[in-house]
Amino acid sequence: MEPANNTALPLYCVAEAELAAWRHAQPPSVRQWLDCNAFRAEPGRWLILPDGNGEPAGVVAGVGGSAPNAHHWFWLAAGLADRLPPGRYQLASTTADATLFMLGWQYGSYRYCRYRTRSTAAPRPELAPGRDVDLRYVEAATHATQLARDLVNTPANDLGPAELAQAARDLAATQHGSVEVLEGAALQAGYPLVAAVGRGSPRAPRLIDLRLPHPGAPRVTLVGKGVCFDSGGLDIKPAAGMLLMKKDMGGAAAALATAQLLRELQVRVDLRVLLPAVENSVDGESFRPGDVWPSRQGLTVEIGNTDAEGRLVLADALTAAGDGEPDLVIDFATLTGAARIALGAELPAAYSGDPELLAGLAAHGSRLADPIWPMPLWDGYEDELASRVADLNNAPTGTLGGSITAALFLRRFVGQPARWIHLDLHAWNGKERPGRPVGAEAQCVRAVAAFLQQRCG
């Protein structure tokens, strides 16, 4: 398929409304070829275009609707990177965002092969960067999203709290930062809810505190839920519910990846990353339903369900995140199935005490095909958190509005809710599609980095 002179074949990306005009501009032989193949500009459909000698002269791909948006361009590129024959291509469309298209192509080229004993990697198509592509951004965003996906895809036997701490140390080493890890008595004293959740595992819980300083710059703290495996604890999950629980540290992966992207883009931000890292397991030391535990903030929490552990570890970390009153706190967490029921796997739920923060983040997500969906912190559900024996309960007895009540629980531990964003994400793609293999997704990383880049300069 690859041309003999190794020149890049033009790649025409055509929307349905543009197809007739584009077809009319082609030579008669190409028009006949399109008709013979009944080509339509349906999303993801593509066709190799021959020259007069029957050699490949280019590729046309369908974008779909009359007004393609960032989502269409990004995932079209990801799919083409997975489906086109090996060769070298160059985007010929003038309507696509060339940088976003290039990034989508790189995203679709990702494969996780750590545990393959034999190399199965086949030659893959290559996209030549055009003059309009911001290669620095594409490379930085590709590295960051690969980091997040690699961490989430790694099985729990090879990625526990200690390995997550090492990932933070590796990032600190490359970005001139520092890491402090609290364990044992120090963790029990400073982060009692984190210690409680991790009691049942032989792999000790810890609080990972990564600093990437930039004196004088706006101060931002990222918090990532680092539950490296979630059995549910004594309120144990059914077998099917545990199959994907290696991904329950997807929030921590997203926080680390966002920090890396901000540093590689040299965004002027004084950054702190807090990762409560635990395994929610079962043994005689496990925390129990009905227990009452103190929090770092001082509020006491009754344990209504040990499978609502993510909000517990985040509560202590969010309290610490408010130290020194940073300009913004953002937490990432694979927190609730309720968010997935409401919005599906591809659309993270977002909460904040300031609707303008959510609107700004959503705008960047839409522009970068990395969406979020603003959700309400509905005060009317506050009474769902009530406890008869403690300050609040970690698991409301009702079955409705679970993502909202989880966010309301977290808000109790946030010093300044108007400077806080909570992201309830899935971090996983469960449906095999071109350019989207079943496995980890790096959700919210690019959107949050762009949002902070605009705010911090």
pLDDT tens, residue by residue, 214-245: 999 999 999 999 999 999 999 999 999 999 99
Report the mean per-residue pLDDT for the chain. Answer: 95
Confidence band of 54 (pLDDT split at 50, 70, 90)? confident
pLDDT in tens, 20-37: 999 999 999 899 999 999
Per-residue pLDDT, averaged over 257-274, amounts to 98
- pLDDT score of 6: 61
- Which residues of the chain does CATH 3.40.630.10 include? 137-456
Per-residue pLDDT, averaged over 159-170, amounts to 98
Of 244, 222, 251, which is closest to residue 443 (Cα–Cα)? 251
- Of the residues 149, 199, 225, 311, only one is catalytic, namely 311
Give the Cα separation of 316 and 303 in Å (integer): 15
pLDDT in tens, 188-219: 999 999 999 999 999 999 999 999 999 999 99
Say whether 237 is catalytic: yes
pLDDT in tens, 425-442: 999 999 999 999 999 999
Is pLDDT above 90 for 408?
A: yes
Q: Give the CATH fold of the 137-456 domain.
A: Aminopeptidase (3.40.630)
Cβ atoms within 10 Å of 294's Cβ, excluding its own: 15
Give the Cα separation of 384 and 406 in Å (integer): 10
Sign of CA dihedral 369, 447, 125, 117: negative
Confidence band of 3 (pLDDT split at 50, 70, 90)? very low
Q: With respect to CATH, is domain 9-124 assigned 3.40.50.720?
A: no
Is pLDDT above 60 for 265?
A: yes
Q: How far, in Å, are 265, 266, 269, 325 from residue 453 at the CA level?
A: 9, 9, 8, 20
Confidence band of 2 (pLDDT split at 50, 70, 90)? very low
Say whether 431 is catalytic: no
- pLDDT score of 7: 86
Is pLDDT above 60 for 102?
A: yes
Per-residue pLDDT, averaged over 279-283, amounts to 97
- pLDDT score of 53: 82
- Which residues of the chain does CATH 3.40.220.10 include? 9-124
- pLDDT score of 94: 60
Is pLDDT above 60 for 14?
A: yes
- pLDDT score of 121: 67
Confidence band of 320 (pLDDT split at 50, 70, 90)? very high
- pLDDT score of 95: 67
Is pLDDT above 90 for 81?
A: yes
Give the Cα separation of 207 and 320 in Å (integer): 10
Structure tokens at 272: 């702190």
- pLDDT score of 457: 76
More confident residue, 3 or 166: 166
Q: Give, rounded to a whole angstrom, the gap between the first and last alpha carbons of the chain.
A: 45
Per-residue pLDDT, averaged over 278-287, amounts to 97
Is pLDDT above 80 for 252?
A: yes
Confidence band of 51 (pLDDT split at 50, 70, 90)? confident
Give the Cα separation of 148 and 56 in Å (integer): 37
Give the Cα separation of 29 and 82 in Å (integer): 28
Structure tokens at 343: 């919005």
Confidence band of 168 (pLDDT split at 50, 70, 90)? very high
Of 210, 230, 246, 257, which is closest to residue 312 (Cα–Cα)? 230
pTM: 0.96
- Of the residues 111, 203, 237, 367, only one is catalytic, namely 237
Provide the CB-side half-sphere exposure for 422 (13 A, CA). Answer: 33
Is pLDDT above 60 for 173?
A: yes
- pLDDT score of 120: 65
Of 220, 423, 449, which is closest to residue 336 (Cα–Cα)? 423
Structure tokens at 230: 């979630």
- pLDDT score of 1: 39
Give the Cα separation of 226 and 165 in Å (integer): 10
- pLDDT score of 411: 98
Is pLDDT above 70 for 416?
A: yes
Of 8, 446, 44, which is closest to residue 262 (Cα–Cα)? 446
pLDDT in tens, 340-398: 999 999 999 999 999 999 999 999 999 999 999 999 999 999 999 999 999 999 999 88
Q: Which residues pair with 227 in a beta bridge?
A: 278
pLDDT in tens, 129-144: 988 899 999 999 999 9
